[in-house]
Amino acid sequence: MGNGPLSGVRVIELAGIGPGPFAAMLLADLGADVIRVDRASAVRDGQAAGGTDFTNRGKRSIAIDLKNERGREVVLRLVEKSDVLLEGFRPGVTERLGIGPDDCLARNPRLVYGRMTGWGQEGPLAHAAGHDVGYIAITGALHAIGRAGGPPQVPMNLLGDFAGGSMYLVTGVLAALLEARASGRGQVVDAAIVDGTAHLSTFIHGFLAGGIWEDRRGVNMLDTGAPWYDVYETSDGRHMAVGAIEPQFYAEFLRRLGLEGEDLPAQYDRDRWPAMRERFAAAFRTRTRDEWTEVFVPSDACVAPVLSLTEAAEHPFNTSREVFPELAGHRQPAPAPRFSRTPAETDGVPVLPGGQTRAVLDDLGFDDAETLLKEGAVAQA
């Protein structure tokens, strides 16, 4: 539990993978008391979810046998003392376990019940398996990413799972939590990755409707179609990222690249973009990435070196802002965003399944902890 803006908020997280745990981590980073409900079998089988799974940092874990009637009752008793529950199972699973929305809201009418899925709680694909790449494919986002004439490029699972999923779950939960404090009534938040990913592309749909975006890859202003919004290889095989959109920034880009005053096409002359790209590429190949970094950074040319994950953690800009502090013996992304009065913080230690079972039960006033342990309803690592 931290001292961030969500201090005093208690969240029950039913253990899962991917966007659900990340959403719970974000709430923990912001100060919420996140109690992760792991499977009791994970403790008995010796499974370790801690280690370097940083999405489990800043939480406490209680291991419960959800198929045990007493275990189910423990979850409902936790719900009575909590503000939020997060789950990421397929639709209907928590209902069958007896800890669905109706079960939980009956115990705590103010509860915000956050549900994380790929396809949503309803619809023809609701019960189908899926992963990030499929979710962003069906929303049109994947089709739009890539170079002209090439296949769609998979942007890891940042766009669907974590941007379209986790962030929208957190936004929905916080909005519902705020409303519950005014109305006294909780509700279900249906956070589907397809919904969130589609919503993220709102501005692109506006461009499309306005006739300033083509429904093709690699031919538009922000998808590598424009030569002044792209990446270029340097003499050492590394890359520089260019985003010189505005005329004044474009002029500064040309000046620092050494092309000021040369006979170049007009910035928005699409027919001559290929020729412009060749000039830029030839110029960037004359120096190393680090040499170009000295030329461009800092400036208003909107050019930056393309850093690897390891390099990013050690870059002077990132170290000056402590973007990747050392936590629990590893470089980890710091909590974000930042607050002036109630700073978010984390110890960075990933929780182990059942590591705090006894402590959680004692802290929440359970007087039958030992009985629950003996009966196998819960397990302590």
From 38, 132, 161, 195, active-site residue: 161
* 131 part of the active site: yes
Find tokens 């699973």 and name the residue.
Answer: 93
From 131, 215, 236, 290, active-site residue: 131
Q: Are 213 and 207 in contact (CB under 8 A)?
A: yes
**Going by DSSP bridges, is the β-strand pair 112-117/84-87 parallel, antiparallel, or unpaired?**
parallel
* 315 part of the active site: no
d(C-alpha 19, C-alpha 81), whole Å = 24
Q: Which amino acid is at 113?
A: Y
Among the listed residues 131, 10, 123, the one whose alpha carbon sits nearest the alpha carbon of residue 59: 10
**Going by DSSP bridges, is the β-strand pair 60-64/187-192 parallel, antiparallel, or unpaired?**
unpaired
Q: Are 74 and 50 in contact (CB under 8 A)?
A: no
3-state secondary structure 53-118: CHHHECCEEEEECCCCHHHHHHHHHHHHCCCEEEECCCCCHHHHHCCCHHHHHHHCCCCEEEEEEC
Q: What CA–CA distances, in Å, run from 219 to 129, 148, 201, 273?
A: 33, 6, 17, 10
**Going by DSSP bridges, is the β-strand pair 239-243/229-233 parallel, antiparallel, or unpaired?**
antiparallel
User: What Rg do the C-alpha atoms of the chain give, in angstroms?
Assistant: 25
Residue-wise DSSP of 306-362: ---HHHHHH-HHHHHTTSS-EETTEE-PPPSS--SSS------PBPPTTTTHHHHHH
Active site residues: 131, 161
